[in-house]
Amino acid sequence: MGLLHRQLALAALNANAFHPPRGLRSGVYAFAAGWLTTELAPQLLGLTALDAATHPPRAGDRSRAAGLALAAANAAALGVMVAQAQRARGGVETALTDALGVDYVEQLDQAPTPADLALPWRQLATPLRVFRRGPDGVQVERDIAYADAGRRTMLDVYRPSEPVHPGGAPVLLQVHGGAWRVGSKETQAVPLMQHLASKGWVCVAINYRLAPRDPWPAHIVDVKRAIAWVRQHIGAYGGDPSYLAITGGSAGGHLAALAALTPGDPDFQPGFEDADTHVEAAVPHYGVYDFAGATGLPRAIRMRDRFLGPLILRRRFADDPAPFEAASPLLRITPDAPDFLVLHGTADSLVDVEQARLFVDRLREVSDRSVVYAELPGAQHAFDTLPSIRSAHVVRAIDRYLHWHWNGWRGRPVGDSPAEVAEDQS
């Protein structure tokens, strides 16, 4: 493949990244290409520059001249993507200050330093390395059973090698995505869990049963079982069972939001109805919040009728709407909803960003707790899966949010260190 053909292919990827198709089927293909293009834009920019540098102009070679011109245009487009990703830092910080107040950082153990906010360029240069080796000081214990369905009900625990919080560390439960049909605990939110574990948190990543072998509501039942397991057993891993936040992306964002909004729902807790399944905070990413099509959004209705009904719930909405409504976080919001930080990208070709906007509007209308919404321009679905400029800024913002929330939850006076709090409580 020559220079011109390579640059034509890259131009097509760039066009898809900026303007992805939004159809139910075409959106899947647009997502796969757009996600990699937007999050790996710095690497693609470097390769484009190298491609152009190694193919200097040659007299009379119109193909090469066209390829070099297209390479310049591609480099400009990739530069825009890099700039968009960099602006995520300011965007998520604005979302936090708008919802929590400009003084929210006073509730942190310490205000973030420039070093805390700096991008981990070594990690970003080799993004796949995060799945092979985590940061020093973090250990992972894998394949712990929380229920009896084999590998689909196992979990991994990420924790600091040396405990940081003597009174028990705050806990984050991670629910993977994958359209309720695929996915695994080892492949998603790894940068977030490694980062938080390095800061003293205990993070739990779970598998859960998948459709079509196990139709709905097996997925949410397993998430509830995992929450109950954490409440009962996480103390043995250094976690504080009284504080649990939940997160997840895509299908995992749906499950995290639904679990947060339905503590103790007996329909989702068969055989363990009395288990404590509440959470203190929820951080769903690019989630599906409307199973029932209650928003009236055309894409939500198409997803309901062409995908969720036949493949996940194994029933038709027209025949039995109640399960779709019960599975819709948008329809389960009450004044008792926990605190939420919701994240979604404007270029998401799989789940309409309008779902997140309407979900947040409803939360702010009904809930008595705080609601933070960070909308990320140019971000595709699954923007946080790999270490990237955007995901690094998002991870650090979630770090600040969760530390703010945890410190407020335990009533730590501003300025006291965790050790001082533990001493005061002893």
Active site residue 98: no
Q: Which of 109, 58, 3, 83 has the alpha carbon at shortest distance from 410?
A: 109
Catalytic residue among 176, 219, 285, 381: 381
CA-to-CA separations, 380 to 3, 78, 231, 282, in angstroms, rounded: 27, 15, 34, 21
- Spell out the residues 6+ positions from residue 209 whose beta carbon is closer than 8 angstroms to its own: 149, 152, 153, 218, 219, 222
Catalytic residue among 176, 195, 250, 344: 250
Structure tokens at 32: 């796969």
One-character DSSP codes across 121-136: HHHHHSGGGGGT---T
Active site residue 165: no
Cβ atoms of residues 340 and 281 within 8 Å: yes
One-character DSSP codes across 190-258: HHHHHHHHHTT-EEEEE----TTTS-TTHHHHHHHHHHHHHHHHGGGGTEEEEEEEEEEETHHHHHHHH
CB atoms < 10 A from the CB of 194, how many?
22
Cβ atoms of residues 129 and 123 within 8 Å: yes
Tell me 305's DSSP state: I
Active site residue 348: yes
- Paired with 344 in beta bridges are 375
Catalytic residue among 222, 348, 384, 399: 348
Give the H/E segment covering residue 13: helix 3-18
- Spell out the residues 6+ positions from residue 265 whose beta carbon is closer than 8 angstroms to its own: none
CA dihedral for 91, 344, 374, 118, sign (positive or negative) = negative
Active site positions, annotated: 250, 348, 381
